C-alpha cells in the first residue's frame, strides 16, 4: 500500500494538471492559445493572475471566489475541475499503480474533463482534442495490457460507426440532426482506449445516465422534449466508469445470468 505522503503528492499533482485543464476549457472555445500567455488570466478582466493567487483550490477560497484585481466573481467550476483532476489522478494511481498504464488512463481522463466542461458550457466538442486523440489513443493502446491494437481499431470503428449509424437513422426518421459530429469523433477516440467491449459498455451506461438526467431536467424545467442536453459529458462518464468498473461489472452481470 502506498504511503499517505505519496498519495497526497499524486493528488496535488492532479490538481495542478486540473489548473491547466481549466485553461483549456476557457481558451479552446474562444480559439485562444493555451500556452500564450503562459500564465493564467482572469476570465473577467483579462489580468495576469499572480502565482500566489493561482494555487489550486486554496487560492479560490482564500480570495472568496473573486479576482484580486477586478473583484468580480470567478466560477466555482475552477476549483471543482482541480479537485476532480486530483481525485482521478489518485484513483488511477491506486488502481493501476506507478505504471505507464496509469499515466495513459489519466491523460485520457484529463482530455475527457476538458471535453465535458466545454460541451456543458458551449455545446461544443473541440476537434482539436478528438481528432488528434484518435491516433494518439491507438498508439496508447500498445501500453494497455487489457486491450490489443486490433481491439483498439475495432473500438474506433465500433465507437464512431455506431453513433454515425444512430445519427443517420434519426435523420431519416426526423429529418433533423440527432447526433452531432463531435459526439461521433469523441466516441471514436474513446473506442481506441477502451476497445469494442468498452464501447458497448460506454454507450449503454451513458444512455442510461443521460436518460435519467434528461428526464430529471425536463421535469424540473417543464420544457418537455424541446430541451437539448449535450451527450458528450455522458459519453465521458461512461468511458471513465468502464476504466474503473467496467470489466468487473460485466463479469458480475454475466455471472448473474447463469
Q: Does the bond joining 254 to the residue before it have cis omega, within 30 degrees of 0? A: no
What pLDDT shows up at residue 53? 85
Residue 3 zone, left/alpha/beta (φ > 0; ψ -120 to 50; rest): beta
Could you give the CA distance from residue 13 to residue 103 in angstroms, rounded to a whole number? Answer: 12
What pLDDT shows up at residue 26? 93
What pLDDT shows up at residue 144? 93
CA 212 to chain centre: 19
Mean pLDDT by 10 residues, the chain (258 residues): 87 96 94 83 84 90 90 93 97 95 97 96 93 96 91 94 79 67 92 94 93 83 66 95 89 71
Q: What cell was used for 236?
A: 465521458
Q: Does the bond joining 37 to the residue before it have cis omega, within 30 degrees of 0? A: yes
Could you give the CA distance from residue 57 to residue 25 in angstroms, rounded to a whole number? Answer: 17
Full-model pTM:
0.90
- Residue 257's SS3 state is coil
No. of helices (H) and no. of strands (E), the chain: 8, 0
- Residue 38's SS3 state is coil
Under a CB-based contact definition with an 8 Å cutoff, are residues 218 and 225 in contact? yes
Under a CB-based contact definition with an 8 Å cutoff, are residues 85 and 113 in contact? yes
What pLDDT shows up at residue 227? 64
Amino acid at each position: 500500500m502506498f504511503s499517505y505522503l505519496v498519495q497526497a503528492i499524486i493528488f496535488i499533482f492532479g490538481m495542478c494538471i486540473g489548473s491547466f485543464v481549466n485553461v483549456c476549457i476557457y481558451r479552446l472555445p474562444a480559439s485562444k492559445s493555451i500556452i500564450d500567455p503562459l500564465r493564467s488570466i482572469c476570465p473577467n478582466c483579462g489580468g495576469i493572475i499572480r502565482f500566489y493567487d493561482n494555487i489550486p483550490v486554496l487560492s479560490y477560497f482564500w480570495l472568496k471566489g473573486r479576482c484580486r484585481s477586478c473583484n468580480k466573481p470567478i466560477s466555482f467550476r475552477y476549483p471543482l475541475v482541480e479537485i476532480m483532476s486530483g481525485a482521478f489522478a489518485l484513483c488511477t494511481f491506486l488502481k493501476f499503480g506507478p505504471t505507464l498504464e496509469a499515466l495513459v488512463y489519466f491523460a485520457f481522463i484529463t482530455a475527457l474533463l476538458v471535453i465535458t466542461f466545454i460541451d456543458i458550457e458551449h455545446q461544443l466538442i473541440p476537434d482539436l482534442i478528438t481528432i488528434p486523440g484518435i491516433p494518439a489513443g491507438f498508439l496508447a493502446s500498445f501500453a494497455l495490457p487489457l486491450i490489443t491494437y486490433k481491439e483498439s481499431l475495432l473500438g474506433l470503428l465500433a465507437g464512431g460507426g455506431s453513433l454515425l449509424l444512430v445519427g443517420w437513422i434519426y435523420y431519416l426518421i426526423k429529418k433533423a440532426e440527432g447526433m452531432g459530429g463531435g459526439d461521433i469523433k469523441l466516441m471514436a477516440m474513446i473506442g481506441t482506449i477502451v476497445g469494442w467491449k468498452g464501447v458497448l459498455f460506454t454507450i449503454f451506461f451513458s444512455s442510461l445516465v443521460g436518460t435519467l438526467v434528461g428526464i430529471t431536467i425536463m421535469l424540473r424545467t417543464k420544457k418537455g422534449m424541446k430541451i437539448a442536453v449535450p451527450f458528450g459529458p455522458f459519453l465521458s462518464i461512461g468511458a471513465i466508469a468502464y476504466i474503473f468498473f467496467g470489466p468487473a461489472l460485466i463479469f458480475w452481470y454475466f455471472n448473474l445470468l447463469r
